[in-house]
Amino acid sequence: MKRRDFLKKAGIGAAAAAAATAVNAPFVHAQKTIQWKMVTTWPPKLPFLQTGAERLAKRVEQMSGGKFKIRVYAAGELVPAFGSFEAVSNGTVQAGSGAAYYWAGKAPASQWFAAVPFGLNADGMAAWFWGGDGLKLWEEVYKPFNLIPRPAGTTGVQMGGWFNKKINTIDDFKGLKMRIPGLGGKVLAKAGGTVVLTPGGEIFTNLERGVIDATEWVGPLHDFIMGFHKVAKYYYYPGWHEPGTVLENFFNKKAYESLPKDYQLMLDIATAETYNWMLAGFNAGNGAALEKLITQHKVNLVRFPEKVMAQLRKLAQDTLEEIAAKDPMSKKVNDNFKKFQKQIGIWGEVSEKAYYDLIAEKYSLKK
């Protein structure tokens, strides 16, 4: 009798334990498998940009226990490079990866969320998004397009670009055909240059054939991979046009909001992690790549003249104000950006800048 009593109680206990386990199990186990498609503006397997999107997909699949899968397509594999915004907006696919300044023709204010000439660096942009109003404003800009944006990575400070002619004065930009997107491109046009927009996978050929006279891309790591040192004479710095370029993931609003809340959180967490991973990767790789370009390939590394920088800064200020005057949303974003830049600049003056000035001589290119 005691034995039967014990077995009966043990059975009840086991059932209760099983029930408790089921109740406390991760919610994802109860979900059916969800499959998304993501299209990007990047060439296949391009480090950090395309592979960042692929890494995001892996992270989400891992966190969901294999229940949330995203198939990533490089530029041209499913839609053209610059067709990703529309494809996600109209729901053809659920997600996209690119840079917000590519969509200036659809939403002028979008450009501020990628890069602002003489604006914030990578740390400053992150502070604006997550410590200020940046992300909230970005969501407001994309809302009419049925999109939800997320900062998905940053290149850090970029290089000034590859040129086949010397830039000694501001007049040297006149008639120059350059691949340069976003607000930086508008500044170049104001200086008399001709802006040519082309996907990353076509830049080398266009530069080699003389379709363009100059191009900017990212920095030493990527530029070396792209082979620009083989078809351009001069490598200019600093990247005044993109001091802290931010890349983006954007999700179809209806698709995102139809996800379980924990899946939405997975996307947000994986995207934020990719932001930090990408910046670390570029910072780690750019120095070694730059040294290789200088020592092994004898690249002509040239700093833009100070007078040219001062004139470009003035043109940049004029450009931003002109765009803001024509578009209420751009004005709202620009005003907020300027206010935040001033606020964070006070701290930057006595922290980052003071420290870099202190150690600059040790790492000077002149040594």
Amino acid at 161: G
pLDDT at position 159 is 97
**Inter-residue contact 226 to 203 (CB < 8 Å):** yes
212 vs 76: CA distance, rounded Å: 22
Provide the pairing of β-strand 234-237 with 300-303: parallel
170 vs 190: CA distance, rounded Å: 11
- How far is Cα of residue 351 from the mean position of the Cα atoms in its chain? 25
**Inter-residue contact 107 to 166 (CB < 8 Å):** no
Residue 223 vs residues 173, 188, 232, 239, 273: alpha-carbon distances, Å: 22, 21, 11, 13, 24
> What secondary structure, in 3-state letters, does the chain show?
CHHHHHHHHHHHHHHHHHHHHHHHCCHHHHCCCEEEEEEECCCCCCCCCHHHHHHHHHHHHHHCCCCEEEEEECCCCCCCHHHHHHHHHCCCCCEEEECHHHHCCCCHHHHHHCCCCCCCCHHHHHHHHHHCCHHHHHHHHHHHHCEEEEEEEEEECCCCEEECCCCCCHHHHCCCEEECCHHHHHHHHHCCCEECCCCHHHHHHHHHHCCCCEECCCCHHHHHHHCHHHCCCEEEECCCCCCCEEEEEEEEHHHHHCCCHHHHHHHHHHHHHHHHHHHHHHHHHHHHHHHHHHHCCCCEEEECCHHHHHHHHHHHHHHHHHHHHHCHHHHHHHHHHHHHHHHHHHHHHHCHHHHHHHHHHHHCCCC
Task: Compute how many other C-beta atoms are within 10 angstroms of the C-beta atom of residue 169.
Answer: 12
For the record, the structure tokens of 41 come out as 């503006």
Cis peptide before 238 (omega within 30 of 0): yes
- How far is Cα of residue 236 from the mean position of the Cα atoms in its chain? 21
319 vs 311: CA distance, rounded Å: 12
> In order of start, what are the domains of the chain with their CATH numbers?
32-154+244-283 (3.40.190.170)
Amino acid at 84: S
Among candidates 300, 323, 180, which has minimal Cα distance to 236? 300
- How far is Cα of residue 225 from the mean position of the Cα atoms in its chain? 18
291 vs 11: CA distance, rounded Å: 70
pLDDT at position 329 is 98
**Inter-residue contact 156 to 277 (CB < 8 Å):** no
Residue 105 contacts by C-beta under 8 Å, 6 or more apart in sequence? Answer: none
pLDDT at position 7 is 42
Provide the pairing of β-strand 245-252 with 147-156: antiparallel
**Inter-residue contact 353 to 344 (CB < 8 Å):** no
96 vs 107: CA distance, rounded Å: 16
Q: Scanning the structure block, which residue is given the tokens 């960042």? A: 52
**Inter-residue contact 123 to 283 (CB < 8 Å):** no
197 vs 240: CA distance, rounded Å: 18
Q: Please give the average pLDDT of every successive group of 10 residues along the chain, which has 367 residues.
A: 46 43 44 93 94 97 97 97 97 98 96 97 96 98 98 96 97 97 96 92 94 96 96 96 97 98 97 96 95 96 97 97 97 98 88 84 61
